[in-house]
Amino acid sequence: MFNTRKIGHTGTLDPFATGLLIVAVGKCTRLIPFLEKAKKTYTATITLGKTSPTLDPESEITDIAFDGELPTKENIEKIIKKHFLGKIEQIPPQFSALKINGKKCCDLARKGEKVEMKPRPAEVFRAEITDYAYPELTVELEVAAGFYVRAFARDLGEKLVGGGICSELRRTAIESLSIEDALPLEMCTESIDPRFILQNLPQTEIPMGRTQDFVAGRAFPWSGVEGEKSLVLVGGRTIGLGEIMKGNLQPRVVL
């Protein structure tokens, strides 16, 4: 499609999930680290009172016995506010792409090997219930990178009725980039200038006469904040990424 073997993305989606995926091709793959820690927004449907090895519909689902009073929307909002907002800790799912001793946990789990998953820091900026009719609960989540929605479904479900799985999951935004701005894969015939994607980075327009210096990796005098990284543009087109070092603009990534 883009006549290159070099391709990467800024964060995988679970097999059952849909939604926004930012794909980098060619030399632009060198810009991926600047989006890997980007804030993400999801719409998740949680089925309460269920569990499965993968914490989603991709494995055998079993019912959890519960004879207590069913939670109200107000109950759930209180639990979320108390336990799942701000900086928290999560135990990642056994079926995840995390690596232990160089091996993916999901591969070990498929072989029946028990893996001890340790708690990891996570952060939730916003968690809003958009629909609820027991056992289905739909929540919009705005979270930091590294957050596991399936783990959230499990943990919230355990506090409410003993368990839960994430039955539907859709990533709707990465930072300020919305799914509404995305195209289906089959319609992606042209690349997009990185300045439209990396909106979290400042932009520096340099004169045409400095293009060769930048492309050759040569630093040149430029005022700015020491250590600040920015996309470097010529005539409104991104040619790379630079960093201010001792009063110079030092090329870091050349496209």
Question: Backbone phi, then psi, for 175, in 5-degree steps?
Answer: 55, -125
Q: Is residue 246 domain-shared with residue 135, that is, in the same domain?
A: no
Q: Is residue 30 domain-shared with residue 83, that is, in the same domain?
A: yes
33 found inside a domain: yes
CATH of the domain at 30: 3.30.2350.10
Global confidence as pTM: 0.87
224 found inside a domain: yes
Which residue range(s) make up the domain with 224?
Answer: 201-254
3-state secondary structure string across the chain: CCCCCCEEECCCCCCCCEECCCEEEHHHHHHHHHCCCCCEEEEEEEEECEECCCCCCCCCCEECCCCCCCCCHHHHHHHHHHHCCEEEEECCCCCCCCEECCEEHHHHHHCCCCCCCCCEEEEEEEEEEEEEECCEEEEEEEECCCCCHHHHHHHHHHHHHCCEEEEEEEEEEECCEEHHHCCCHHHCCCCCCHHHCCCCCCEEECCHHHHHHHHCCCCEECCCCCCCEEEEEECCEEEEEEEEECCEEEEEEEC
Tally of domains in the chain: 2
Contact 161, 67 (CB under 8 A): no
Q: What is the pLDDT of residues 181-201, one digit of tens each?
A: 888 877 877 888 999 999 889
Question: Backbone phi, then psi, for 54, in 5-degree steps?
Answer: -95, -5
Q: Is residue 146 domain-shared with residue 65, that is, in the same domain?
A: yes
243 found inside a domain: yes
Q: Averaged over 201-209, what is the pLDDT?
A: 96
Q: Which two tokens stand for residue 85?
A: 């907002």
Q: Is residue 84 domain-shared with residue 126, that is, in the same domain?
A: yes
Active-site residue, selected from the candidate residues 14, 56, 131, 213: 14
| pLDDT at res. 141 | 98
Beta bridge partners of 133: 136
Q: Is residue 84 domain-shared with residue 205, that is, in the same domain?
A: no
Of all residues in the chain, what percent carry a pLDDT higher than 90?
Answer: 69
63 noted as active-site residue = no
Q: Is residue 128 domain-shared with residue 249, that is, in the same domain?
A: no
Contact 201, 229 (CB under 8 A): yes
189 found inside a domain: no
For residue 109, pLDDT over 70 is answered with no
Q: What is the pLDDT of residues 221-233, one digit of tens each?
A: 999 999 999 999 9
Q: Is residue 170 domain-shared with residue 206, that is, in the same domain?
A: no
CATH of the domain at 205: 2.30.130.10
Q: Is 249 exposed, middle or buried (0-12, 13-18, 19+ CB in 10 A)?
A: buried
Q: Is residue 33 domain-shared with residue 79, that is, in the same domain?
A: yes
Counted residue by residue, the chain has a size of: 255
C-alpha–C-alpha distance, residues 124 and 102, integer Å: 29
| pLDDT at res. 215 | 96
Q: Is residue 78 domain-shared with residue 133, that is, in the same domain?
A: yes
Q: Is residue 154 domain-shared with residue 46, that is, in the same domain?
A: yes
Q: Is residue 32 domain-shared with residue 138, that is, in the same domain?
A: yes
pLDDT band at 253 (very low <50, low <70, confident <90, very high): very high
225 found inside a domain: yes
188 found inside a domain: no
14 found inside a domain: yes
Contact 226, 246 (CB under 8 A): yes
Q: Is residue 128 domain-shared with residue 241, that is, in the same domain?
A: no
79 found inside a domain: yes
For residue 1, pLDDT over 60 is answered with no
Q: What is the pLDDT of residues 139-159, one digit of tens each?
A: 999 999 999 999 999 999 999
